[in-house]
């Protein structure tokens, strides 16, 4: 059985670097604490995750768009495997 140890929630910014209508790549960077102004991860999003058409997806996630993103990290203790 898993048990939650901690949940960490933080805000980051993201910049859309690529979008072909099938998926978009977003470069995230820190905006507070020790991660401020540091490039973090590149994440991918897909239109079907948001029930958007290809055209809507291209508009909402246009290349160069800036996004305010909230990340949630949940740490769980795993049951030991034999």
Residue 77: predicted pLDDT: 85
| CA dihedral sign of residues 79, 80, 81, 82 | negative
Q: What is the number of domains present in the chain? A: 1
Whether residue 7 is contained in a domain is answered as yes
Q: Calculate what percentage of the chain has a pLDDT beyond 70.
A: 95
Whether residue 13 is contained in a domain is answered as yes
Instruction: Read off the pLDDT of each residue in 62-73 and give the average, rounded to a whole number.
Output: 95
Contact assessment for residue 61 and residue 53, using Cβ atoms and an 8 Å cutoff: no
Whether residue 25 is contained in a domain is answered as yes
Enumerate the β-bridge partners of residue 26: 16, 43
Q: What is the DSSP letter of 36?
A: B
Whether residue 61 is contained in a domain is answered as yes
Whether residue 82 is contained in a domain is answered as no
pTM of the complete model: 0.80
Q: Which domain holds residue 69?
A: 3-75
The 10s digit of each residue's pLDDT in 1-34 is 567 788 989 999 999 999 999 999 999 999 988 9
Whether residue 81 is contained in a domain is answered as no
Among left, alpha and beta (phi > 0; psi -120 to 50; other), residue 37 is left
């Amino acid at each position: 059985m898993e048990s939650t140890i901690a949940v960490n929630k933080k805000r980051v910014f993201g910049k859309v670097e690529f979008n072909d209508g099938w998926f978009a790549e977003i470069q995230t960077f820190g905006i507070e604490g020790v991660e401020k102004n540091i490039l973090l991860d590149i994440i991918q999003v897909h239109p079907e995750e948001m029930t958007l058409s290809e055209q809507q997806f291209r508009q909402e996630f246009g290349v160069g768009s800036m996004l305010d993103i909230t990340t949630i990290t949940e740490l769980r203790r795993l049951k030991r495997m034999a």
